[in-house]
A and B are shown apart, each in its own frame.
Chain A
Amino acid sequence: MAVTETRPASETGADPGSGRTAPGAVERILGGADHTTLGRMFVLSGLALFCVAIVARLLVGIDAVADNALLGDALAMVSSSARVLGPLSLVGAMTGVLVFLVPLQLGSPAISYPRGVSLAYWTWLLSTIVFAVSVAFDGGVGGADTAAARLGNVSLGAALAALGLAAVCVATTVLTHRPPGMGLAKVPFLAWSALLGSTLWIVTVGSAFAHVVVGQVSRADAPGLAENFVNGILWMTRAPAVYVLVIPVLGVALDVFATATGSRVRQYGIAQGLIGAFAVLSIGVWAQGDDSVNTVVWTAFALLVAVPVLGILGLVGDLVRRGRISYSPALLLSAVSLLFILGAVTSGLVWALTLAGSGTLLGFDVRLLGAAQVTFVAASLLSGTLAAVFHWSTKFWGGRPAAAPSNATALLVVAGGGLLSTAVFVQGLVQRDGEPTANQFFGVLVVAAAALYLLGVLSAAGAVRSASAAAADGGDDEPVGGTLEWVAASPARGDDVPDDLPTVTSPYPLADARDGDAPGEEADR
């Protein structure tokens, strides 16, 4: 055998005959378009950025305890910016879940326009970091420094546009990447909720982006930008538009419970309809002005949105009743994420009651009730995202997370989210007519809740690390669900979908293949 001058391609990792070397880890991260890699990066970056928002909430709580000795005039700016930064980071994390899982659930090796998703990720990441930096320089939203406030406005617009672009890619994937036989009525719940949530997100973001454009074109100063935010963008953080953020959480919960109980959702069409009804009732672009609140339509939206949430809770209860229930952190987080949505809906109901008649029926603080809504929604988003990350952990990270950190994460996030949301809600009930009743007490609660949240996210990082370590040790890789993502390798790679996917004749094709193609009640258990 002749001596060769270069090593064979199989050793160098090069593509044979192409003359190119294989991309390194950094090159893969910066230039890659694998939807699984992008999804993981979205999730991890979103959770990291959420820590920044939680630190801001921590400062707000400490300031309340210290009787405004810490933040002074910057209190409103930090509080408003945290109210934006928290959902912005968590929507990014949930987008990561969708980018990762939706193509796998459809048996597709790729997402639509992966380079578009890559562009969306980097734009969202950089603009959210820039937004956080602008907060530090008294900008963000409601800041006093004009240059920093303009920076905050531009970065907010860029982040919204980036998430809108990612939503376009996700929604297009659901419509065009389905395998033969998988009509929309057989799409898994997460993909279904992703389609509805992404579509409404595109519409909602488009409207908010217009106000960012107006703020920038008008060359407004800091107070002008603060007014533009309150009049043009703040509506996104209150009912009904704020519910758009948690539409995918409904899909996560139904898929997690169906898999965890080994049951199928019996009334599949009804469940899809309930998610659809929730989506319709979260259309909020028409309710931007203050005069649109306390109208008949707004009140009807606030009341009716409880129906699909209760319906989905009923379907979950039916799954639990028929299946073999065994505790897991993902299950707890899924259940609580639905309860958090119910909490947000309750805040909306109380808000509607408060505004009934001439607006003086109960005298609750509607500003705080609005803040409670977005806090409940953020808690639901965080719980839902972590539930997905833990439930599909073999696909995300290659193995199952260790029991200790994953259990700790679930308990800390549930406790932190519950405490923070309930504290803000009760504060809205107690502090009537703007009176700062027991302000320091609520400050202590906010500090405690923020600390629990921080510990929860740090614990989640430990759980992810343990899942990756379990993959390196050859962790279990048994498919346990009934939908197509469980066919993929563990950890999943975008181009590694098997060619011999089971034929799709029901919403649970893999369960059909296991059970001898016998969809129905007998195959449930």
Chain B
Amino acid sequence: MSEVAALDLDDLAPAPPIRRRELLFATAFASAGVVMVFATLVGAYLAARNAGGEAWLEGSRIPLTQANMQMATMVMAAVTMQWAVYSISRDDRLHSYLALGITLLLGLAFVNQTTFLVKQANVVLSEPGGALFYAVVGTHTAMVLGGIVYIALMAFRALAGQFSSRQPDGISAAAVYWYVCVATYAVVWIAVYVMK
């Protein structure tokens, strides 16, 4: 006790300022760049498909069922991600961990479904539209993998007690990025799989 009493608070270095929403803003800016990558890729895909006519991916068979399941998976993942944000902002740590875990699981399931779909579709790179197909689908998969790493990192930080109702930014920022992943997949789903 005497050692504690001898501490002079004036000797301690001031704590670094907590800059709330820093990660949130940075994620929003980075997401804006990612959205532009996607908008350009999908725009190029649609323009090339319109120009390609009947020859567009004619040697391939892109199933819709698999893509529908992927869309449902991403919607569920968006709900569980929002569950994590809701829970951490109410200091409900158990449900936060549970929600983050389920989101990660659904994200990995989405990647698994993508690899299955790509194998089923059997799109040849050299055929008209092949390169754009792989550019759109591959970039989105890489984006989702980035989101999985981001959520896992924030989950570990949450486990270490860095986030709470007073500082929920990490989980919120991961959620923003994840929603962008879901929204961009909705565009890919319609442009590449539904409209074919």
> What is the interface of chain A, defined by CB distance below 8 A to chain B?
112-113, 164, 167-169, 171-172, 175-177, 198-199, 202-207, 209-211, 213-214, 217-219, 232, 285, 288
Task: Tell me the count of chain B residues lying within 8 A, CB to CB, of chain A.
Answer: 26
Of the candidate stretches B26-34, B54-62, B74-82, the one touching chain A is: B26-34
Selected A-B contacts with CB under 8 Å, 9 pairs: A112-B22, A202-B29, A202-B32, A204-B36, A207-B37, A207-B40, A210-B37, A217-B134, A217-B135
Q: Which residue of A lies closest to B42 (CB)?
A: A210
Residue B35, interface by CB 8 Å: yes
CA gap between A206 and B43 in the complex, in Å = 13
Q: Are A209 and B37 in contact (CB under 8 A)?
A: yes
Residue from the list B26, B39, B41 in contact with A213, Cβ < 8 A: B41
> What is the interface of chain B, defined by CB distance below 8 A to chain A?
19-22, 25-26, 29-30, 32-41, 44, 125, 131-132, 134-135, 138-139
Q: Are B26 and A172 in contact (CB under 8 A)?
A: yes
Chain B residues, Cβ within 8 Å of A214:
41, 44, 131-132, 135
Expressed in whole angstroms, the minimum distance between the Cβ of A245 and any Cβ of chain B is 17
Expressed in whole angstroms, the minimum distance between the Cβ of B23 and any Cβ of chain A is 9
Residue from the list A113, A171, A210 in contact with B41, Cβ < 8 A: A210
Residue from the list B30, B132, B134 in contact with A168, Cβ < 8 A: B30
Q: Which residue of B lies closest to A213 (CB)?
A: B135
Given A206-B40, A217-B134, A218-B125, A113:B26 Cβ within 8 A: yes
Chain B residues, Cβ within 8 Å of A209:
33, 37
- Give me the 6 closest cross-chain CB pairs, A-B, nearest first: A206-B36, A218-B131, A210-B40, A206-B33, A207-B40, A172-B26
Given A112-B26, A172-B22, A210-B41, A217:B33 Cβ within 8 A: no
Q: Which residue of B lies closest to A167 (CB)?
A: B29
Q: Are B36 and A285 in contact (CB under 8 A)?
A: yes
Q: A168-B30, A203-B33, A218-B125 are in contact. List 11 more A-B contacts (CB 8 A).
A: A164-B33, A167-B29, A168-B29, A171-B29, A176-B19, A202-B32, A206-B32, A210-B139, A211-B40, A213-B139, A218-B135
Chain B residues, Cβ within 8 Å of A171:
25, 29
The CB with the most chain B CB atoms within 10 A, among A164, A203, A205, A210, is that of: A210
CA gap between A202 and B134 in the complex, in Å = 24
Residue from the list B19, B40, B125, B139 in contact with A285, Cβ < 8 A: B40
Q: Are A205 and B33 in contact (CB under 8 A)?
A: yes
Chain A residues, Cβ within 8 Å of B41:
210, 213-214
The CB with the most chain A CB atoms within 10 A, among B20, B37, B132, is that of: B37
Chain A residues, Cβ within 8 Å of B37:
206-207, 209-210, 213
CA gap between A429 and B158 in the complex, in Å = 63
Expressed in whole angstroms, the minimum distance between the Cβ of B181 and any Cβ of chain A is 15
CA gap between A37 and B35 in the complex, in Å = 32
Chain A residues, Cβ within 8 Å of B132:
214, 218
Q: Which residue of A lies closest to B26 (CB)?
A: A172
CA gap between A427 and B39 in the complex, in Å = 37
